[in-house]
Amino acid sequence: MKACCSRVSSRPLPVDPAEIPIAKDLKLVADSFVELQQARHTADYDNSKVWSRTQVWEMIAVAEDAMAAWWNIREQGIAQDYLLDLMGSR
């Protein structure tokens, strides 16, 4: 999943101006997935890490922003392709 998200993050923006906002939202979703997954691993396995309330709220904000972006693009072809990539179907 991380590899799939990294591919999305490294893609150049499309040439078509109508597709740029969709690509930016998908990049936000992919970047957030990686960031939140890393934070979850840290929270689960690094007992030396103490999370402040502010850090927790920041991670919640990242998740909320990603969900809002996904809501905007979820029916677009590029988003559906991303889901297939996440499942390893490609």
CA atoms in the 13 A half-sphere facing the CB of 1? 13
Higher-confidence residue: 31 or 89?
A: 31
Structure-token pair, residue 20: 């740029």
Residue 2 and residue 65: Cα distance in Å, rounded? 19
Q: How many residues would you count in the chain?
A: 90
Q: What is the pLDDT of residues 58-82, one digit of tens each?
A: 999 999 999 999 999 999 999 999 9
